[in-house]
Structure 1
Amino acid sequence: MDFKNFKMPYSINKDFTEKTAYFSMEFAIDQALKIYSGGLGFLAGSHMRSAYNLKQDIVGIGILWKFGYYDQARNSDQTLLPTWTKKMYSFLEDTGIKFQIEIHSAPVWVKAFYLKPETFDTAPMFFLSTDVPENDHISKTISHRLYDANESTKLAQYILLGKGGAKLLDMMNFEREVYHLNEAHGLPAAFYLLNKYGGDMEKVKEKLVFTTHTPEEAGNEKHNIHLCSDMSYFSGLNIDAVKDIEGVSDDRFNHSLCALKMARVSNAVSQLHGEVSRKMWNKYDGICEIKAITNAQEFKYWADKNLYKAKDKNDNSAFDERKKLLKKRAFKIVADQTGNLFDENTFTIVWARRFAGYKRADLLLHDKQRFEKLLNNPKYPVQIIWAGKPYPMDYSSISTFNSLVEESKNYKNMAVLTGYELALSKSLKQGSDLWLNNPRVPREASGTSGMTASMNGSVNLSTDDGWIPEFAKNGENSFVTPLADYDNLSIYDQDKFDLDNLYDVLENEILPMYYDEPKRWREVVKNAMNDVKDQFNSDRMATEYYEQIYRK
């Protein structure tokens, strides 16, 4: 293939002809390609698969992380040990394209690799690396670890994605009408374009669209504007001009705010998140319109087809047998990692996603008496599994993970698993009866793991946040705890309110239904499978991006 004059490798669907480049720090495409950390990557991976299904004129641009995010190993006492292993990918094609970009006022070499659409059924994708012989050691490390803890390295990674990605498109003579930033990490692309177009902001705005994922202002990344300038983030634009664009006078550069000023249009990732984002950002002058396109996951990749076949044939015995088989398979992983033998006939709860404070992984353990009662109930036996990756420098979340590991040593029906990546995620969704999700409202912008759980016959029990208000019919396709007056409650009281309600729903509704009314439980499972299939399939999401964001 001639990458110097790249052409889309498949015929484009006439409904999706806007030429788009999608910039993301992470993509969860396949277990074999470990360049993601969590939900942002799962979303981006599903988006790229749906773009391929629909034959959209879109390419993905990311970074080839040499050590990935990190590998989740264990210390000798079973606690979490982050490790980093060099990754090798024979299925990526060397484009032969090498070019330089300025990072920290010095030229850095960038090499581009290509992922063919047919490898994993995705849109064409390009991954950038600075790990080449021409670079010094520091420059090589830019593309080593996803979300590096060092501030300068992190900014260099944003520059690599944004400026490097935009320059790659120019190197390939591959004109794009839309530059879509999935989160503000790729914002240096906007400053690259501003420089390219001689300071014409209207030309940049014409091309730039932005997806925001963070539902509270404090969670949006800010860095010292002088450090950003020293790192060559702004492609030569002086600090005063950057402050004029951002519209603030202090020295904290807010990446998301600046993206909202430079983009033509942006979107939040659920309807609730849209409301939260507009309320949060509308106090600033000159931000673009914030729409809402609810996140979704690709049905074809995630859903268990045999479970759906049995459901569609109304063959309840085949349906129940299939679910038991899926549980058995997942429990082999539990046995392998922990030595606990789980039973496919026992009600199984799973909490699995990124460990972060607001997601409250250990909320059920805040009431030890009730937790013991739940796990030792002879009438309604329960098994419970936790899994997820804390950020490797988030010591509070690592401590939560480790405390769960310690607690699990007291119970044969409790397990904490490592290696929460695409493969384990799929297995746990197939192996669970109940997908537990208890973030503090309204901190979860979307939270897509529950979608793929429903695609595998698992029922959501959730606080009413993210995508849940658009999906949930309480008691019919999921279970949702009541909303508290979160604005006026302390964190302690919020946690207590949600904890009591989670236990009440579990003890009084869910467990009696599962064991005493299996037919009714099966109907809830099937309703969830029906309701998630189209509305929360990323083909719908990818279509909406074209209709609402890319099309002018």
Structure 2
Amino acid sequence: MNIIGQVTVLPQLPDAIARLSELAYNLYWSWTPRAQALYQELDPSNWERFQHNPVRLLLEVPQQRLEAAAADADYLDRYRGVMADFDAYMGKKDTWISKNAAELAPVAYFSMEYAFHESLPIYSGGLGVLAGDHCKSASDLGLPFTAVGMLFHQGYFRQLFNKEGWQEEAYDELDLTTLPIKPALTPAGEEARVKVRIGERDVHLRVWSLTVGRIRVLLLDANVPENSEEDRRLTARLYGGNQELRIQQYVLLGVGGVRALRALDVPAQVYHMNEGHAAFLGLERVREAVETGLDFRTASEAVASSSLFTTHTPVPAGNDAFSYELMDRYLGKWPGLLNASREELYGLARHDQLWDGHWVPTFSMTVFALRMSRMANGVSELHGEVSRDMWKFLYEGAEAREVPIGHVTNGAHNLTFTSQAMRDLLSTVLPTDWTERLEDGEMWKGVEELSDAQLADVQLNMKREMISFVRGRLREQLTRNGATAAELAALGEVLSENALTIGFARRFATYKRATLLFRDKARLSRIVNDPQRPVQFVFAGKAHPADNPGKSFIQEIYRVSQEPEFRGKIVILENYDMNVARHLVQGVDIWLNNPRRPLEASGTSGMKASFNGSPNFSVLDGWWREGYDGTNGWPIGEEREYADLNVQDDADAYSLYQTLETQIVPLYYAPPQPDAEGRGGWRQTVRLTIETVSPRFSMQRQVIDYVRGYYLPLTRRGAAISANGAQRAREIAGWKSWVRQQWPHTTLTASANLPSTARPGQKVEVRATVNPAGIKPEELRVEAVLKRGDDITRVPLTAQGEGQYSAQVPLDGSGLYSVGVRMLPVIEGLSNDLEAGLIRWA
């Protein structure tokens, strides 16, 4: 046969179920299992084959099957129920925002990666899951919110294990026509295109629109005909390539993202940078302001006044920094565009670092993000402390606790990770509107009404589903690697529904210590193989393609899983993604996490397991340091620092084994002894896990914290600083320039009549003499600083005449005090006392 052409005949949805197509293009279905079931039932095989993608599924379903579904009364009832819920959600007017923060300005949220669902693989790990969940809860709460990211057409990578258990990477080209995205249209109805100059060339970007409930996500795509082959690959892979690729991707995200908002006429007044990758959005916003006639410093003040930066990285090596030579190559024209000198622009990001044995100035994305925002935060209480200490050098002379970096502890989107079975059970004891009040801790006390039997039944069914999933995944892996019939048959013995099952699934960075469990294999073998009280473990996780130590951890777990005493009782799954994560957090009995404290910024996987009643067993780091209350899980190790990492690993491994043997296993296997209400023992821990973790670590609570603590203050500050042609920004910028010019000429001397010993409450006189070098006295704060251990007290000194200050400073408690005097410049309208970055100590 001579083929003269090809044509695809697409199935047509019958009128009775026609809105399945509309729903497929709104990721509302991604956290609605009953909506997903409508698609799965049409073609279960293709539903699995196409990673649960309803758009692709509808392209493949035979017309006869669609007609049959449209004639099925039961299917139509479920369809109408799902669509009624969808319409109620989309049409809701009395959202949390409308009732609690109606004055909130539109928010633009920038992130390098987003994890919404496994069918859209443009994420690598926790940062992406957090960003995706943030968007979902922004929708749930009714925020005026638009997210901006990148459409990586080869995603991150598909992980494969070879016969030796070594991670291999596969990159699949996404078929954009089968994804739940559509070209973004300008107000004139044209497909949105923007261009960004990188070095000596223009890179063109197509903008795609993704609908997530009530909000929109804009995804940038350089894989367009107008670009060279090299430039088309700029949006090929997430976190691939070298520094040259990364800096270009960051320019596309930051500069291209702002231009995409403008091309689509999307309102945005508050800008949220999720990690330093997005910091270049500040460049474009300053350029826009300069174009309106503002000078560089005024424009920078105006832009920073409405910007928030969230840092996720607690180790210096995780913060991107580029050489000035690389900056010149790719952003060399930007100083001219901003009417700034190279030194002025690069100075906003300068971080001197030791490279190849020499101290060199670098352009730090984190420093630039901090300088170009007036609010910043870490992602847990401890991470906030670590971040303030990491970046205190930017505020020379300040104590770490004063550094203006706060914290919002991460959360997770409850409905994305809570199984439908658990949701149905919760609905029997919680109010009918419980899914809209997830942050309400008082409401969650209703969980106490659930009986042991109810919880046991639901959790056993979730575990069975997880075990079936694990066996299916292992079958695919073994078949690809040429397993024998006997090896495939043995899969029926992998994992037992009657054994205590512990899950661990993380990005395989080495600090997460995935192999800590194997530090004493003989002891582990006794735990796993106890005939009366067996324990089994399920692992999953990806290592970065360039991270061979992380890959070695994966291989070590794989090899242990093949040893006779551990076979079928310790397993590791390949291709960790959101699908694997959901099955594990819903099916295991306990969630294990053992990072090297304090390197876990937050972590969220344990939260998701807890939503489903699986207690957390973790190092007191990140969120668990705040979440653990003595009843809802178990700690590993102590809350202390170690000078020797081997000593730390030994201590934490010992604690892990000891707690498992003496507390967790006995409690899990103890005969049920319920009280009169049918509660007690293991299931009481399950109840308390759900009740305490679900509200405090819901993404709903997290987004509300951002609204109250950051978005609303930035709404007000941004408007005030930019009002009247940015008059206040101009005043602040001018004042900072003047003060920084004069500061080297200021002097401060101080004295105090300090006795060798004193009574609690006794006052001592502290005096200071100031040469203000022309700075107005009312623009200088002179203060005594008292340090007692970790406590710091600041007491203002009062002006007593020409350059003279004094105060009676009380010593309120017992202990050894250190007393100092310092001076710093302040005026009304600064975001914090350290904003000018100048402190002089006597």
Distance 2:504 2:466 in 1: 14
Residue identity (%): 32
Show the counterpart of 2:655: 501
Q: 2:670 aligns with which of 509, 516, 525?
A: 516
Please state how far the C-alpha of 1:525 moved relative to its aligned partner: 1.1
Query: Is 1:483 paired with 2:582?
Result: no
Please state how far the C-alpha of 1:234 moved relative to its aligned partner: 7.7
Show the counterpart of 1:75: 162
Please state how far the C-alpha of 1:444 moved relative to its aligned partner: 0.3
Give matches, 1:341-380, under 5 Å: 341-380=494-533
**Structure 1 pair 103/178, CA: closer, same or farther in 2 (3 Å)?**
same
Please state how far the C-alpha of 1:51 moved relative to its aligned partner: 0.6
Q: Give the structure-1-normalised TM-score.
A: 0.94
Give matches, 1:127-146, under 5 Å: 127-146=219-238
Distance 1:315 1:485 in 2: 38
Show the counterpart of 1:256: 366
In terms of Rg, which structure is larger? 2
Mapped contact 2:533–2:669 kept (Cα < 8 A): yes
Show the counterpart of 2:247: 155
Q: Deviations over 1:180-214 (max 9, x none)?
A: 10001011111111222122211111222100011
Give matches, 1:56-71, under 5 Å: 56-71=143-158
Show the counterpart of 1:210: 309
Q: 1:32 aligns with which of 98, 119, 122?
A: 119
Counterpart residue identity of residue 229, structure 1: D
Distance 2:423 2:628 in 1: 20
Distance 1:346 1:269 in 2: 35
**Structure 1 pair 299/497, CA: closer, same or farther in 2 (3 Å)?**
same
Q: Deviations over 1:409-441 (max 9, x none)?
A: 112211010121111101001111110000011
Structure 2 gap ranges (5+): 1-89, 185-190, 291-295, 353-359, 397-401, 430-448, 475-490, 673-679, 714-842
Mapped contact 1:19–1:175 kept (Cα < 8 A): yes
Distance 2:523 2:351 in 1: 50
Q: 1:528 aligns with which of 689, 703, 716?
A: 689
Q: 2:328 aligns with which of 213, 229, 236?
A: 229
Query: Is 1:109 paired with 2:264?
Result: no
Distance 2:217 2:140 in 1: 15
Show the counterpart of 1:281: 391
Counterpart residue identity of residue 533, structure 1: S
Please state how far the C-alpha of 1:77 moved relative to its aligned partner: 3.9
Show the counterpart of 2:405: 290
Matched length: 539
Please state how far the C-alpha of 1:236 moved relative to its aligned partner: 3.7
Q: 2:344 aligns with which of 241, 247, 267?
A: 241
Mapped contact 1:191–1:234 kept (Cα < 8 A): no
Show the counterpart of 2:621: 465
Q: 1:328 aligns with which of 446, 464, 474?
A: 464
Distance 1:75 1:532 in 2: 38
Distance 1:176 1:329 in 2: 44
**Structure 1 pair 171/235, CA: closer, same or farther in 2 (3 Å)?**
farther
Counterpart residue identity of residue 94, structure 1: P
Mapped contact 1:266–1:288 kept (Cα < 8 A): no
Helix, strand or coil at the partner of 1:27? coil
Please state how far the C-alpha of 1:122 moved relative to its aligned partner: 5.7
Show the counterpart of 2:556: 403
Show the counterpart of 2:182: 93
Mapped contact 2:166–2:552 kept (Cα < 8 A): no
Helix, strand or coil at the partner of 1:344? coil
Mapped contact 2:500–2:535 kept (Cα < 8 A): yes
Counterpart residue identity of residue 298, structure 1: H
Show the counterpart of 2:276: 184
Q: Give the structure-2-normalised TM-score.
A: 0.62
Counterpart residue identity of residue 244, structure 1: G
Mapped contact 1:72–1:83 kept (Cα < 8 A): yes
Which structure is richer in relative contact order (CA contacts within 8 A, separation 6 or more)? 1
Mapped contact 2:508–2:543 kept (Cα < 8 A): yes
Show the counterpart of 2:702: 541
Helix, strand or coil at the partner of 2:657? helix
Structure 1 gap ranges (5+): 1-8
Distance 1:240 1:42 in 2: 37
Distance 2:263 2:548 in 1: 42
Distance 1:76 1:414 in 2: 17
Distance 1:346 1:217 in 2: 41
Please state how far the C-alpha of 1:231 moved relative to its aligned partner: 1.6
Mapped contact 2:152–2:235 kept (Cα < 8 A): yes
Mapped contact 1:159–1:233 kept (Cα < 8 A): no
Show the counterpart of 1:5: none
Show the counterpart of 1:4: none
Distance 1:429 1:305 in 2: 13
Q: Deviations over 1:210-261 (max 9, x none)?
A: 0001112332222212202312288345531233223546332211122111
Helix, strand or coil at the partner of 1:300? helix
Show the counterpart of 1:437: 593
Distance 2:350 2:119 in 1: 43
**Structure 1 pair 460/416, CA: closer, same or farther in 2 (3 Å)?**
same
Q: 1:449 aligns with which of 581, 597, 605?
A: 605
**Structure 1 pair 234/176, CA: closer, same or farther in 2 (3 Å)?**
farther
Show the counterpart of 1:6: none
**Structure 1 pair 148/247, CA: closer, same or farther in 2 (3 Å)?**
closer
**Structure 1 pair 408/57, CA: closer, same or farther in 2 (3 Å)?**
same
Mapped contact 2:503–2:584 kept (Cα < 8 A): yes
Show the counterpart of 2:572: 416
Mapped contact 2:207–2:219 kept (Cα < 8 A): yes
Counterpart residue identity of residue 364, structure 1: L
Mapped contact 1:188–1:234 kept (Cα < 8 A): no
**Structure 1 pair 271/345, CA: closer, same or farther in 2 (3 Å)?**
same
Q: Deviations over 1:505-531 (max 9, x none)?
A: 001100011001554111111101011
